[in-house]
Amino acid sequence: MKAYLTRRYRFSASHRLHSDSMSAEENQVVYGKCNNPYGHGHNYFLEVTVAGQVDSHTGMVCNLADLDTFVNEKIVERFGLSNLNTLPEFQGVVPTTENLCRELYRTLEEGFHFADVEKVRVEETMLNSFEYAGGKEIRK
């Protein structure tokens, strides 16, 4: 029996949305106030959904402690309280929340091996959230 587990985390980070391939005017039109040269911050909420067979011994898809340890060490500590623009993952890439989702998914997909990574969802503001499933169809 395949089951899904979604766990929620929180971290804060800042970014500036700016593309070196566009003029200052184009950046202002495309990114608006998010193109502020001093950047701006968000309190992000991250949802990680993993899936797998329910273990007959534990009754779980995966151990929550394993997922929490991985996410806290590889994502929250890595991206939290940082300026995303300064991180190697975003050199040459605009650190939009769409691109942040892709990077968080990649981090999980490459390193978390206790269950299958289904998708990540990042809530940037009360009005904006983004999901990425690595090319898989997103299960609602």
- The pLDDT, as a whole number, for residue 140 is 65
For residues 39 and 139, the model is more confident at 39
> pLDDT band at residue 43, thresholds of 50, 70 and 90?
very high
- The pLDDT, as a whole number, for residue 111 is 97
Residues 6+ apart with CB under 8 A from 44: 10, 11, 12, 13, 97, 100, 122, 123, 124
pLDDT at 1 over 90: no
| Residue 93 per-residue DSSP state | S
Of 90, 122, 125, 118, give the one whose Cα is nearest residue 17: 90
What mean pLDDT is reported for the chain? 96
- Quick check: 27 and 18 in contact, CB under 8 A? yes
Q: What is the dihedral of CA 123, 129, 133, 139, to 10 degrees?
A: 110
SS3 25: helix
> pLDDT band at residue 135, thresholds of 50, 70 and 90?
confident
138 token code pair:
């997103």
pLDDT at 63 over 70: yes
> pLDDT band at residue 137, thresholds of 50, 70 and 90?
confident
Fold classification of 2-132 (topology level): Tetrahydropterin Synthase; Chain A (3.30.479)
- The pLDDT, as a whole number, for residue 136 is 78
pLDDT at 102 over 90: yes
